[in-house]
């Protein structure tokens, strides 16, 4: 497979997943040098960052000598200005999206037609995992606003000639009716929204198990690789969950393992590194680390050595047939969401895994405060007092933390069809 080729067929995508280390690195290096050749001469941003207008790497080890890229570097001071890594005249871009704004104000991100096609090509790895065919009907349960969401999934589905139902701009009950009446066989949404749809269906007396949905592709937040969350979704819908991860600044970089145990980085299209949390030192295999990614096919706005903010435990020592880098448990949390409570690292995803293991509990919220320079945590959860007390006990058993848990009435905590914000940081 030549570096300029996209993995256009399932057989080609299968082959790149089976490449050995040397073959994979050769492919990545050739794609990276091709990217640098196209981008550096025209990019004042990267010329300033690297101090050169042209560069060709002899090995991937030389990539680690380049400075990392962080999101604050990309944010322009002018409201509405696109991310600074864009280097082409505006008329070359055909797609406008914005980051979600969960860690600051939304940042516009643009794509050329070629870049958008690369998104669609890369999404095919996820559609392979979900076994999408032209016989499927796919419900897209998201807003279709400027956040990238499932926009590229929509176009990737069309490439497969699946029938796509855009379910934006309607209530949850209306979406449920559209999913059922439209004969959807596949659902695309966040893990939280899949659970919310199930919650509303129960309240409306709708039997989701009788629907035709057999696969649910989830993205946008941790959950698809959290066993307790995955089990709740699969039980409610009687459908298989396929996890996925991506970012507006990068593209669709992760695809879930068939057994739901974690994510693979799509290394034919991305170079992955892991750095120690709060450091630029490489992390050891399996160590809690921040994921750093270099996209290899987005020439109009390339992210090179981009600190994603995603915390993972990456390993190459795994038993899966796919030889891509594996992230057991998927994305474990965000670096800016990690709390250190009495010496214990705590993430919303870790709390959620315990919440979803207890019957009778609904949505939850983590409230972080600071007393005498010490971080404190309490949890609000929808459910009765008995279930809340059990949650407190389970948190102490599984995480080694005594955390105050307060029961609140069902339906009082906020829901979202996009990324959930379960951390209320009052520090």
Question: What single-letter DSSP state applies at residue 241?
Answer: E
In a domain, 57, yes or no: no
Q: Which helix (H) or strand (E) holds 274?
A: strand 270-276
Domain of 229: which CATH number?
Answer: 3.40.50.12780
Identify whether residues 264 and 402 lie together within a single domain. no
Task: Please state the separation of Cα 256 from the chain's center in Å.
Answer: 10
Q: Is 7 part of a structural domain of the chain?
A: no
Looking at the structure of the chain, the number of domains it has is 2
Residue 237 Cα distances to 92, 137, 179, 180, angstroms: 43, 16, 12, 12
For residue 24, is it within any domain?
A: no
Write down the H helix ranges in 138-249: 151-159, 172-181, 191-204, 227-237
Residue 331: what pLDDT?
A: 93
| 389 and 260 within one domain | no
Q: What pLDDT was estimated at residue 372?
A: 61
Within a domain: 357: yes
Neighbouring residues of 137: CB distance < 8 A, sequence distance ≥ 6: 162, 163, 164, 165, 182, 183, 184, 185, 186, 212
The pLDDT value recorded for residue 3 is 43
Q: Is 200 helix (H, G, I), strand (E, B) or coil?
A: helix
Co-location of 187 and 213 in the same domain? yes
Asked if 238 and 216 count as a contact pair (C-beta separation under 8 A), the reply is: no
210: its two tokens = 């009788």
Which residues is 422 bridged to in the sheet? none
Task: Extract the tokens encoding 68.
Answer: 């990392």
Mark which of 284, 317, 334 sits at the end of a domain.
334
Q: In whole angstroms, what is the distance from residue 195 CA to residue 204 CA?
A: 14
- Please enumerate in sequence order all residues whose Cβ is within 8 A of that of 104, keeping only pairs 6 or more positions apart, or say none: 71, 75
Same domain, 277 and 378: no
Is residue 142 a contact partner of residue 417, using CB atoms and an 8 Å limit?
Answer: yes
pLDDT of residue 92: 97
Rounded to whole angstroms, the Cα distance separating 408 from 418 reads 23
Predicted pLDDT at 76: 87
**What is the reported pTM?**
0.86
Angle at 288 between CA 355 and CA 73, to 5 degrees: 100
Burial code of 23-57, b = ≥16 C-beta within 10 A, e = fewer? Answer: ebbebbbebbebbbeebbeebebbbebbeeeebee
Residue numbers of the domain that contains 314: 66-334
Burial 227-254 (b: 16+ CB within 10 A, else e): eebbebbeebbebbbbbbbbbbbbbbbb
Residues 112 and 184 in one domain: yes
Same domain for 214 and 297:
yes
Half-sphere exposure of 241 (CA within 13 A, CB side): 30
Say if 130 falls within a structural domain. Answer: yes
CA nearest neighbour of 111 among 103, 120, 100, 101: 120
- Dist. CA 9–CA 1, nearest whole Å: 12
Domain shared by 220 and 195, yes or no: yes
**Are 148 and 261 contained in the same domain?**
yes
- 74 contacts 85 by C-beta, under 8 angstroms: yes
Query: What was the pLDDT predicted at 1?
Result: 47
Of the residues 316, 334, 352, the one at which a domain ends: 334
71: in domain: yes
- Residue 255 and residue 380 share a domain: no
Give domain status of residue 37, yes or no: no
Last residue of a domain, one of 314, 334, 354: 334
Instruction: Tell me the C-alpha distance between 7 and 125, whole Å.
Output: 9
Q: Are residues 202 and 111 in the same domain?
A: yes
Run of H or E including 21 = helix 21-39
Transcribe 217-230 into DSSP letters: EE-SSTTTT-HHHH
Q: What is the pLDDT of residues 353-375, one digit of tens each?
A: 899 899 889 889 989 887 766 67
Q: Are 297 and 251 in contact (CB under 8 A)?
A: yes
CATH code for position 376: 3.30.300.30
Q: Tens digit of pLDDT per residue, the chain (427 long)? A: 444 455 678 999 999 999 999 999 999 999 999 999 999 999 999 999 999 999 999 999 999 999 999 999 999 888 778 999 999 999 999 999 998 765 557 899 999 999 999 999 999 999 999 999 999 999 999 989 898 989 999 999 999 999 999 999 899 999 999 999 999 999 999 998 999 999 999 999 999 988 999 999 999 888 888 899 999 999 999 999 999 999 999 999 999 999 999 999 999 999 999 999 989 999 999 999 999 999 999 999 999 999 999 999 999 999 999 999 999 999 988 887 777 777 777 888 888 889 989 988 988 998 988 776 667 889 999 999 999 999 999 988 887 878 899 999 988 887 766 667 788 878 7
Q: How many CB atoms lie within 10 A of CB 202?
A: 12
Phi then psi dihedrals of residue 265, to 5 deg: -80, 130
SS3 93: strand
Asked if residue 5 belongs to a domain, the reply is no
DSSP conformation class of 88: S
Say how far apart CA 118 and CA 83 lie, in whole Å.
19
**Residues 251, 350 within the same domain:** no
Encoded tokens for 184: 């959807």
List the structure tokens of 41.
């001469």
Quick one: pLDDT at residue 165? 97
Please name which of 233, 334, 404, 300 lies closest in space to residue 90, comparing C-alpha atoms. 300
Same domain? 123 vs 144 = yes
Alpha carbons 275 and 307: distance in angstroms, whole number: 9
């Amino acid at each position: 497979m030549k570096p300029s080729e996209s993995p256009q067929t399932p057989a080609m995508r299968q082959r790149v997943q089976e490449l050995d280390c040397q073959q994979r690195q050769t492919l990545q290096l050739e794609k990276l040098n091709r990217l640098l050749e196209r981008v550096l001469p025209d990019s004042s941003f990267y010329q300033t960052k690297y101090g050169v207008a042209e560069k060709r790497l002899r090995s991937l080890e030389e990539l680690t000598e380049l400075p990392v890229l962080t999101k604050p570097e990309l944010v322009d001071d002018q409201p509405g200005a696109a991310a600074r890594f864009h280097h082409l005249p505006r008329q070359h871009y055909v797609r406008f999206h914005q980051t979600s704004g969960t860690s600051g104000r939304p940042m516009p991100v643009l794509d050329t037609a070629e870049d958008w096609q690369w998104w669609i090509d890369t999404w095919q790895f996820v559609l392979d995992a979900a076994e999408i065919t032209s016989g499927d009907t796919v419900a897209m349960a998201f807003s279709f606003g400027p956040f990238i969401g499932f926009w590229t999934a929509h176009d990737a589905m069309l490439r497969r000639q699946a029938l796509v139902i855009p379910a934006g701009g309607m209530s949850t009950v209306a979406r449920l009716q559209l999913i059922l009446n439209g004969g959807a066989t596949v659902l695309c949404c966040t893990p939280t929204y899949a659970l919310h749809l199930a919650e509303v269906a129960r309240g409306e007396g709708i039997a989701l198990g009788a629907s035709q949905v057999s696969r649910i592709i989830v993205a946008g937040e941790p959950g698809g690789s959290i066993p307790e969350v995955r089990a709740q979704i699969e039980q409610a819908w009687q459908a298989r969950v396929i996890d996925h991860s991506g970012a507006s600044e990068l593209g669709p970089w992760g695809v879930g393992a068939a057994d739901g145990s974690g994510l693979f980085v799509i290394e034919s299209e991305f170079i992955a590194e892991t750095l120690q949390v709060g450091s630029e030192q490489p992390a050891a295999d399996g160590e809690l680390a921040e994921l750093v990614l270099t996209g290899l096919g987005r020439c109009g706005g390339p992210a090179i050595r981009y600190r994603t903010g995603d915390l993972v435990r990456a390993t190459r020592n795994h038993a899966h047939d796919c030889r891509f880098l594996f992230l057991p448990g998927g994305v474990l949390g965000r670096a800016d969401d990690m709390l250190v409570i009495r010496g214990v690292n705590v993430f919303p995803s870790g709390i959620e895994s315990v919440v979803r293991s207890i019957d009778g509990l609904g949505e939850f919220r983590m409230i972080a405060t600071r007393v005498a320079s010490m971080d404190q945590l309490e949890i609000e959860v929808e459910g009765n007092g008995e279930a809340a007390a059990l949650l407190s006990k389970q948190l102490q058993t599984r995480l080694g933390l005594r955390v105050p848990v307060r029961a609140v009435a069902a339906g009082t905590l906020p829901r979202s069809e996009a990324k959930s914000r379960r951390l209320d940081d009052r520090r």
